[in-house]
Amino acid sequence: MQQRNLTIAVLASAAFFALSAAAGSQVIVSGNDEKVLWDDAGQAVFSAPGKDTISFIDIADRENPKILTSIALENSIFGPPTNVAISPNGEIAVVANSVKQTKDGEKWKPVPDNKVYIFDLKATPPKQIGTVEVGKQPSGIDISKKGDLALVTNRADNSISVLSISGKDVKVTDTVAIGDSVAHVAISPDGTKALAVKPVVNKVAFLRIDGGKVVYEKYDMPTGVFPYNVDIVPSGEIAIVANNGA
C-alpha cells in the first residue's frame, strides 16, 4: 500500500491565511501535521503523534523564503485549514489544534482536542508564549482588524469561543452556542458583525459584535452543500463562502 502525505497542499492554504504585513518583515505561519496519511483508496491512515511542527517562514524576499524556526507541537490539518491567524499588528499568531491522536488497541485514532496556541512573532526566533483551552475541535479562527478580539469555531461543541487580546495576552471571555457544528468564521472589517459556516446543515450564521460581546442572532442563510470556509471582502459589503460538497 502506497501512503501519501497530503499536508503540503493543505497547509499551503493554511499558511496564506496567516500572512502578516508587519513593517519590515512578512511571516507565514504553517501548521505541519505529520501523523495523518492517505492510502491509494483515499482512506485516512493515522500514525503515532510526536512529529508535528509549527513553522515560521520569512517571505520578505519572495524568491528566497527562509524558515525562521520550527517548533515541535501537536497540531492538526483537520479543521479546515483555516485554524491559523496572525494579529493585524503582526505581534502574535494563534494556532488551533483540532484533533489529537489516542491509542485504540493496536491502532491510533483521532479525538477532538481543545487547544489554541499563542506565539510571539516579535521574538527572535518566534516562540510559544501561551495556550488557551476552548471548545472541542477548534477549527476556524479569525482576528478582528482592531486586533483586540478573536473568534474560534468549535466543530465538536457546536459553539464559538470568544477570545480577548490585549497586547500578547490572550484569554477566553465567552462561549457562544451556535446549535450546529460550525467550521469557520469571518469578522467584518468594521468589527461589528461576523459570519460562521455550518457545514452539516448547509447554512451560514449571522453574529453581532458589540465590543467584546458576541451575540448569535439565530438568523441563518442557506448556502451550497457543506460550506467549509467563509471570508468577507475588505469593503465589508460582500461575503464569499466555499462549499466543499457536491
Q: What is the CATH number of the domain that holds 103?
A: 2.130.10.10
Q: Which domain holds residue 15?
A: 7-243
Q: In tens digits, what is the pLDDT along the chain, a chain of 246 residues?
A: 444 433 333 333 343 334 544 445 688 999 888 888 888 998 888 888 888 999 999 998 999 999 999 999 988 866 556 789 999 999 999 999 998 889 988 888 889 999 999 999 999 999 999 999 999 999 999 999 999 999 999 999 999 999 999 999 999 999 999 999 999 999 999 999 999 999 999 999 999 999 899 999 999 999 999 999 999 999 999 999 999 887
Residue 1 placed within a domain = no
Residue 2 placed within a domain = no
Question: For the chain, what is the domain count?
Answer: 1
**Cell numbers given for 130:** 501561551
Query: In sequence order, which ranges of 56-144 are alpha helices (DSSP H)?
Result: none
Rounded to whole angstroms, the Cα distance separating 133 from 148 reads 18
pTM: 0.88
- Which bin fits 218, alpha (ψ -120 to 50), beta or left (φ > 0)? left
- SS3 percent helix, strand, coil of the chain, rounded to 5, is 5, 55, 40
The DSSP bridge pattern shows strands 184-187 and 127-133 to be unpaired
Rounded to whole angstroms, the Cα distance separating 180 from 240 reads 20
Residue 30 placed within a domain = yes
Rounded to whole angstroms, the Cα distance separating 82 from 63 reads 25
